[in-house]
Amino acid sequence: MRGKYYISVLDLGKEETLEVLEIARHYKVERKAGKRKNEILNGKIWAILFEKPSLRTRVTFEVAIRELGGETFYLSPSDVGLGKREPVKDVARNLERWVDGVFMRVFDHRVFYDFKRYSPNLSVINALSDLEHPCQALADFQTMIEITGDLGFHLAFIGDGNNVANSLMLMSALLGSDFTIACPEGYEPPKEIMDKALEIAKRTGSQIDLVRDPKIAVSRADFIYTDVWASMGQEAEAETRRKAFQGYQVNDELLKSAPEHAKIMHCLPAHRGEEITDDVIESERSLVFVQAENRLHTIKALLSFLSQ
């Protein structure tokens, strides 16, 4: 596996994404039956380079690589100092000479463009950036498809137009599902991502909407998704954001406007009492730990797909 990328949801087409989700379904069945290991990665070595903390993304990647017969090592922010201790393009050209792939969690999405340009033989997977969280979207689509059996669902995202919202919106557009985001003014997804999603949606028949009123967003939702109001790196804005997002909490009152069958989703970690109440996240409607489990099956599937 050399020079394969999954930096944006749009790095794979519709059929390729569906193939990854099918492999993930297969891995989940196999794992439940006790079969965990294969040798698809055949000793390949991946660096994990994270500028931010992580539980789910790091652990599922580490487990996935081991179960697929590869190896990993972890580089913390202070080990590398991406763009500080040395330029990103130098880090890329060094790593390319030693490892097969790099799984990166970064503040600035543009770091990936330097890696693509300067280390074209290195495989790169986005473990979260300011713009996207494509591996999360894969797990979330596996979760939703498990429930509905198809892609004809409506996903309502309540809150910040952030990395998780962006990847979910792009994947909805790509796969033909409907997506509505309800967010306050000034917290919309970036215009270029919204425009891209709308353009793709014209082809796939997906309906993509942005509304202000969370009640309107959830009124025909099959899935109601939220994420933190202040993402990693935005801690200084937490108080301003708390004020801006008043009225955007996923709670019992909001759920009165949603269909009874609507399920609740969150990528975790959650700030209970802010974007979602403890009651709702702990309710029977909540899928949060299924999503977390599916992070493992989908990252195994993605690595397997990219190894072909």
Contact residues toward ligand NVA (CB under 6 A) are: 128, 162-164, 227-228, 231-232, 267
Output 100 or 227, the one with its CB closest to ligand NVA. 227
Segments of 12-149 assigned E as strands:
45-50, 71-75, 101-105, 123-126
Q: How far is CA 54 from CA 43, 105, 123, in A?
A: 25, 9, 21
Least CB distance to ligand CP at residue 214 (A): 22
Output 57 or 166, the one with its CB closest to ligand CP. 57
Active-site hit among 114, 135, 227, 266: 227
Residue 267 interacts with ligand CP (CB under 6 A)? Answer: yes
Please indicate whether residue 308 is annotated as part of the active site: no
How many chain residues interact with ligand CP (CB under 6 A)? Answer: 8
Output 165 or 200, the one with its CB closest to ligand CP. 165
Please indicate whether residue 135 is annotated as part of the active site: no
Token representation of residue 307: 């190894």
Please indicate whether residue 133 is annotated as part of the active site: yes
Q: How far is CA 244 from CA 68, 159, 189, 210, 237, in A?
A: 44, 10, 15, 17, 10
Residue 290 interacts with ligand CP (CB under 6 A)? Answer: no
Q: How far is CA 272 from CA 41, 110, 181, 307, in A?
A: 39, 32, 20, 39
The footprint of ligand CP on residues 38-57 (CB under 6 A) is 54-57
Output 164 or 217, the one with its CB closest to ligand NVA. 164
Q: What is the largest CA-CA distance in the chain?
A: 56
Token representation of residue 290: 């299924």
> Are 106 and 265 spatial neighbours (Cβ–Cβ below 8 Å)?
no
Binding mask 128-167 for ligand CP (x = CB under 6 A): x-------x-------------------------------
Q: At what angle do helices 88-95 and 110-118 cross, to 10 degrees?
A: 50
Please indicate whether residue 97 is annotated as part of the active site: no
Please indicate whether residue 266 is annotated as part of the active site: no
Q: Which residues are catalytic?
A: 105, 133, 136, 227, 267, 295
